[in-house]
A and B are shown apart, each in its own frame.
Chain A
């Protein structure tokens, strides 16, 4: 399996005046194609920091991070923007849909940014929201909003799908349907990273990375991951 993302000696330190917070200690990690990686760990262990570095929202303090052959830590702001636009699909805990656009328009918004997007309506149908296309976010339930967010991430056919607590604001039934969509995306070759502190969710991963105090304390491959629809918490 070829590595899509390769991190070498990557670390992140936040400096606030005198105080230094080592959010991530130097680590080497690789993420493979078509793989669902679940990152778990207690609060403050550096999960979001890791995700932000992979997603190009932040730069590592040391080390390199290479995505599809490009060392993204060397990119300037414009380059990082282009990287996020072309390669990364984000899914947030609180959905972050654009309130003044309908479900379909939210998806189209992203489709308009990339060169070869998928068809927005088809993607929306694929997440089961074909009939809610013209609804504004305020008119959708939380689960529906999150599915729009996933459609929005999928429509640009990205290399990476990064989800930070995607089920955090959802109930179990809605949550597992969202996870199932992420699993499907991985089956179509995307590298999916899911950050969570819900250990039940972790069971769906091909690989579980555990963090504590900014360090990888275990990196476990799962031979037969659980079908997301069977997860309960």
Chain B
């Protein structure tokens, strides 16, 4: 009997039930899809690390050492596997494909290739291309004990003239097994190596050039592995290859320090948590997990609210029925179960649909993510736990939403239930006591706003629902705006050059003059960069000291808050007087203006102490800055420029080729091209905001629909009376719409604030020396979000208004009450 009643109720207002289930489905899909893919990704990282023996510790030695002099340290107790190796960067040349590349900021875009300009078909044209390769030595026999490689194509290198390329650089230049890579020694000798294999490495799941450059383009930077004997022949005249890095796994974390203690002074230890690739991925994954919990929680909270609103209304409307059922002998329990069943059923249905959809979506997300990031080995985990949790969350949400109304129903006494309605008592809202002029409004307006206070809990839910939906839309827009702003700030305001050429050991001033005279070159700026270690109280940070000439602005610190006078002020009578730090470094190491920082040059390990004079707000690249000549003088450098920036108004490609053919050029970066691609990618990213808009929109739609519908149902008699008394139906519709809009506006405002807060929390969580983004919201984001939500509010009010227009006045007016 009761089940029949339940079924009738669902069938009679299917939209309400659908709205409640829909919110549930959205929440559960979000939760299960993102949490499942989080688990899959985490599992895949762990699995890759495990199979490839990803190191626990890296020790960088203060220079080159004979292998035998350092490997003893690896005998320390607690060390499981160890490897001593040589790591260095060398200029290289490859025959690169000339087709446009789908690659940006460390992300392989070929997965979303459809959205990019089409690649030309036909045979690959090739041109020589200079780039920097990070070369790591691998044992001649057998695989590395630590940080093993996964061979994607080809065979593991077995002879001294073979090289293995990390897959990103290989794919980018379309290099295949059997192609050649030419390496250049510091003394200018060159040697061609044959590509034996294309590989993936657990150390370079995320390819970073350094902590300051986590988005190197494979155009100019790549990773490669060469057998020891090859490096020995090429660089050390066939003698034994020295080493400069130890990597090892441990069974006891204390072993890290123990190994370090056994090594020459000056060696620095990096634990896994601070390994760049791992850290970037971890930040990303952590952020992802937070979102995987946070947004679904919001959705389910709103779902519970909507169910509560619906059920509270039903119980109130059915007081007579409840009283009658109790009088007929139904137990309190039976009534409780009956009224809880609707909410539980919505929860169960929502979570079942949601969990299954989530499972499918999670597979897709995992695939996409794995393809974009390039995780070496993928292992998915069974998702019973998440499925169970999803079902549980659905039921809990249903129970939370249904329990209060169900208990209220069960505790109604039969006699009481059938008495006149005690609720809906009008009273003067506090707002009117605080703000008396409200009492002088026209009567219809008064009805309108007093109703908002008559059922404050429902008004609150409308507000919260809109707020959550708004913040959902806004938080993703604000994140994107902030990234957009940071990227533009970085690539357009600060890095204003079109081409960057790196020289080793450096370019003399004549070369700069020559370059300035070249056709198509508009401006040239030379800077000196010294690789340095900053020593703080506890920690050591490796970065570079960049010497800039005041008045030259191809790399422009002025938008970052450092003007020419600030830069000039770093120069003293005999070299640097002080330095400017990237703001993120100041934050990370708790340094403020006026503090003294110890700076060690990695060229000759000499140590200087400088005062911190200011901070530069640079989103990417946590560098240290000073006046150019002062930097050179402080570190006794010859008059050479390590990096040259150029702006070009002629044929850029020709100029780049020309630069690459010059002696001493390590790599040439086409910054203008990068800038275009960044712009393009950001435009595309905004398209994905549409997804969030859709989700937020659906949520808002469901919430506003239910609350306006319920509030109209509850006031049908009152609204019909107004119509009978002669209030034009348009006026009533206006009043009802305005009520919705006022609540919506409050929700919109709260949501805007909430969205900002969430975005800054999210960015703060990410904020590090790797990326330093500020929260930025473009005005257009507010406008678009506001208008979008307004549209949704109006749309979701429509069914209610239609119901209002179709009110049967004669019928409603004779009802005893609603």
Contacts and interface: CB of A to CB of B under 8 A. Distances in A.
A101 interface: yes
Which 6 A-B residue pairings sit nearest by Cβ, starting from the closest? A85-B726, A138-B425, A109-B443, A100-B450, A136-B426, A99-B426
Interface residues of B, number: 31
B817 A138 contact: no
B571 to A, nearest CB: 74
A213 interface: no
A57 B424 contact: no
A179 to B, nearest CB: 20
B722 interface: yes
Contacts of A88: 726
A112 B426 contact: no
B6 interface: no
A84 B724 contact: yes
Contact of B728 (A78, A102, A110): A78
Given A100-B447, A100-B451, A48 B725 contact: no
A96 B721 contact: yes
Nearest to A77: B729
Nearest to B720: A96
A101 B727 contact: no
A113 to B, nearest CB: 5
- Which of B424, B454, B727 neighbours the largest number of chain A CB atoms within 10 Å of its CB? B727
Nearest to B450: A100
B705 to A, nearest CB: 23
B446 interface: yes
A101 B814 contact: no
A93 B810 CA distance: 13
Interface of B: 424-428, 442-444, 446-447, 450-451, 454, 717-718, 721-729, 809-810, 813-817
A102 B425 CA distance: 11
Given A84-B726, A85-B726, A98 B425 contact: no
B814 A93 contact: yes
A143 to B, nearest CB: 14
A62 interface: no
- Which of A90, A100, A164 neighbours the largest number of chain B CB atoms within 10 Å of its CB? A100
B725 A100 contact: no
Nearest to B453: A100
A179 B729 CA distance: 31
A57 B426 contact: no
B426 A137 contact: yes
Contacts of A82: 726
B725 A152 contact: yes
A105 B444 CA distance: 10
Contacts of A112: 442-444
Contacts of B728: 78, 81
Grouping DSSP codes into helix (H, G, I), strand (E, B) and loop, the B interface class, with mixed when no group exceeds half, is helix
A108 interface: yes
Given A92-B814, A96-B813, A81 B726 contact: yes
Interface in A53-110: 55, 57-58, 77-78, 81-82, 84-86, 88, 90, 92-94, 96-102, 105, 108-110
A52 to B, nearest CB: 5
B776 to A, nearest CB: 44
Given A78-B728, A109-B725, A152-B725, A100 B813 contact: no
26 contacts: A48-B810, A55-B724, A57-B809, A82-B726, A84-B724, A85-B727, A93-B814, A94-B814, A94-B817, A98-B447, A98-B718, A99-B425, A99-B426, A99-B718, A100-B426, A100-B446, A101-B426, A101-B447, A109-B443, A109-B444, A112-B442, A114-B726, A136-B426, A136-B427, A137-B426, A152-B725
Given A101-B450, A109-B447, 15 more contacts: A48-B810, A85-B725, A85-B727, A94-B816, A96-B724, A96-B813, A97-B721, A98-B721, A99-B426, A99-B718, A101-B426, A105-B443, A105-B446, A138-B424, A139-B425
A90 B729 CA distance: 18
Contacts of B717: 96
B810 A99 contact: no
Contacts of A108: 443
Interface in A119-169: 136-139, 152, 164
A109 to B, nearest CB: 4
A81 B815 CA distance: 21
Contacts of B817: 94
B814 A90 contact: no
Contacts of B427: 136, 138
A52 B724 CA distance: 10
A81 B732 CA distance: 12
Contacts of A114: 726
Nearest to B730: A78
A88 B813 CA distance: 15
Contacts of B813: 57, 90, 92, 96
A113 B725 contact: yes
B48 to A, nearest CB: 64
Contacts of B450: 100-101
